[in-house]
Amino acid sequence: RKEVEQDPGPFNVPEGATVAFNCTYSNSASQSFFWYRQDCRKEPKLLMSVYSSGNEDGRFTAQLNRASQYISLLIRDSKLSDSATYLCVVPTGKLIFGQGTTLQVKP
């Protein structure tokens, strides 16, 4: 099993839609997790941290399921500006990045 796995997509959704991404990880010892956002050919930027209780920031909700070893990112009321690649990040000593899930929000 890969250390971090994501469905690469792309996810094509209309504006206003709700979309969810999952990410599975193999290291059960990891305590905290992160979602980064990467716009086309740009540098990644931290979007949200995910701890045991989950995290919500406006339209974005991140949750952790330790039993099944996955984390999720939910985006409500999608905007055109949400179009990007979303990277799941798991600390295993160093930060391991998933390959990313691409979201394309259409008008």
Q: Using CB under 8 A, list all residues that contact other proteins.
A: 31-34, 41-46, 49, 87, 89, 91, 93-100
What minimum distance in Å lies between the beta carbon of 51 and other proteins? 8
What minimum distance in Å lies between the beta carbon of 4 and other proteins? 8
Which of 22, 25, 35 lies closest to 92 in space, CA to CA? 25
Q: E strands along the chain, which residues? A: 4-6, 11-14, 19-25, 33-38, 45-50, 55-57, 60-65, 70-75, 84-92, 94-97, 101-106
Q: Specify the residue, 12 or 92, whose C-beta has the smaller distance to other proteins.
A: 92
Q: Specify the residue, 100 or 103, whose C-beta has the smaller distance to other proteins.
A: 100
C-alpha span between 10 and 102 (Å, rounded): 5
What minimum distance in Å lies between the beta carbon of 77 and other proteins? 26
What minimum distance in Å lies between the beta carbon of 82 and other proteins? 19
Which of 4, 77, 80, 3 lies closest to 36 in space, CA to CA? 4
Q: Specify the residue, 82 or 100, whose C-beta has the smaller distance to other proteins.
A: 100
